[in-house]
């Protein structure tokens, strides 16, 4: 009897250990950097808040700042603004996403958003959301993902705009605050971390996945004499050609980048300084 109990206990312990190892392996944190594949012109007066790729070398962009906020259609290769919808001077444009043929845009410090026709940027309506603020917006084609500058990633019903889930994002026990512009890429949410040169990779199911470090981009711009630029902000994904585009507020360039693993170990204080300020 004692032997049977011992065998049962051993089997249970084995499965518990196996389950723990599987769980741990699924949550190994990745550390990556970017290499520039292509550079494109970008309007250096655009205070970029939302960015997305819509096919045929076309981008849609939301810009912020009072009196300068807009939604615009932009030619990727030339940076030329092909269509522009200026917002009222009292509004500060924020995150932008495309669901179906409709563009959804947030505003800062207000719980109101706008819906536009993708074809001509005509306003189709407004919506109210349940986030504390309006920062980033993305979609997987079914739900909207939103951020409000906190550590919470929201899932919003695109019909009612009510929050169907709220996920607090943690990195090694620390909340990852300042989730800003968002992009949905291959089942993940990529989030700019405001006031940093970092992008957080987040799984809507499993939480934090890894860091992408892009400090080399802003460093090169500053070294080239671009003193008026602001922070990294803006991620766009071309799912057909597997291209990733990034830019920043008031940046004169938009970059196509390739992500690759960082092979050298990174000390924890480096991540805290770069990404968790």
CB 244 within 8 A of CB 257: yes
Task: State the residue range of the domain holding 111.
Answer: 29-275
Give domain status of residue 266, yes or no.
yes
Number of domains, the chain: 1
Supply 140's token pair.
Answer: 């997987």
Q: How far is CA 82 from the centre of its chain?
A: 24
Q: What is the pTM of this model?
A: 0.88
CATH code at position 231: 2.120.10.30
Structure token digits, residue 60: 């849609």
Of the listed ranges 5-19, 45-59, 129-143, 230-244, the least confidently predicted one is: 5-19
Within-domain flag for 8: no
Residue 107 lies in a domain: yes
> For the chain, what is the radius of gyration of the CA atoms?
21
pLDDT for 12 = 39
C-alpha to C-alpha distance for 82 and 74, rounded to whole angstroms: 6
Q: Does 17 reside within a domain?
A: no
Domain membership flag for residue 20: no
Residue 235 lies in a domain: yes
Q: What is the pLDDT of residue 26?
A: 52
The reply to whether 21 falls in a domain is no
Q: Which residues of 171-208 are buried (b: 16+ CB within 10 A; e: fewer)?
A: beeeebebbbbbbbbeebbbbbbbebbbbbbbbbeeeb
For 89-109, what is the mean pLDDT? 97
Q: Which of 34, 38, 37, 49 is nearest to 251 (CA)?
A: 49
Distance separating alpha carbons of residues 91 and 223, to the nearest angstrom: 34
Summarised one tens digit per residue, pLDDT across range 144-193 is 999 999 999 999 999 999 999 999 999 999 999 999 999 999 999 999 99
Identify the pLDDT of residue 36.
97
């Amino acid at each position: 009897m004692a032997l049977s109990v011992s065998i049962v206990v051993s089997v249970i312990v084995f499965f518990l250990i196996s389950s723990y190892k599987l769980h741990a392996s699924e949550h190994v944190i990745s550390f990556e950097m970017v290499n520039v594949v292509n550079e494109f012109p970008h309007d250096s007066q655009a205070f970029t808040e939302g960015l997305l790729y819509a096919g045929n070398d076309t981008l849609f962009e939301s810009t912020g700042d009072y009196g300068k906020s807009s939604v615009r259609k932009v030619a990727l290769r030339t940076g030329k603004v092909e269509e522009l919808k200026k917002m009222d001077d009292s509004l500060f444009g924020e995150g932008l996403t495309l669901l179906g043929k409709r563009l959804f845009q947030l505003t800062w410090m207000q719980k109101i958003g706008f819906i536009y026709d993708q074809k001509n940027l005509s306003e189709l309506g407004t919506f109210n959301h349940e986030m504390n603020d309006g920062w980033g917006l993305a979609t997987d084609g079914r739900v909207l993902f939103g951020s409000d500058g906190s550590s919470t990633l929201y899932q919003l019903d695109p019909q009612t705009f009510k929050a169907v889930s709220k996920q607090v994002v943690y990195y090694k026990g620390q909340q990852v605050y300042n989730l800003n512009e968002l992009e949905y890429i291959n089942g993940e949410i990529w989030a700019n971390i405001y006031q940093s040169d970092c992008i957080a990779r987040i799984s809507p199911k499993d939480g934090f996945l890894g860091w992408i470090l892009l400090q080399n981009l802003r460093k090169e711009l500053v070294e080239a004499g671009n003193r008026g630029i602001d922070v990294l902000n803006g991620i766009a994904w071309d799912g057909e050609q597997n291209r990733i585009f990034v830019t920043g507020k008031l940046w004169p360039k938009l970059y196509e980048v390739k992500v690759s693993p960082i092979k050298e170990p990174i000390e924890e204080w480096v991540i805290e300084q770069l990404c968790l300020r």
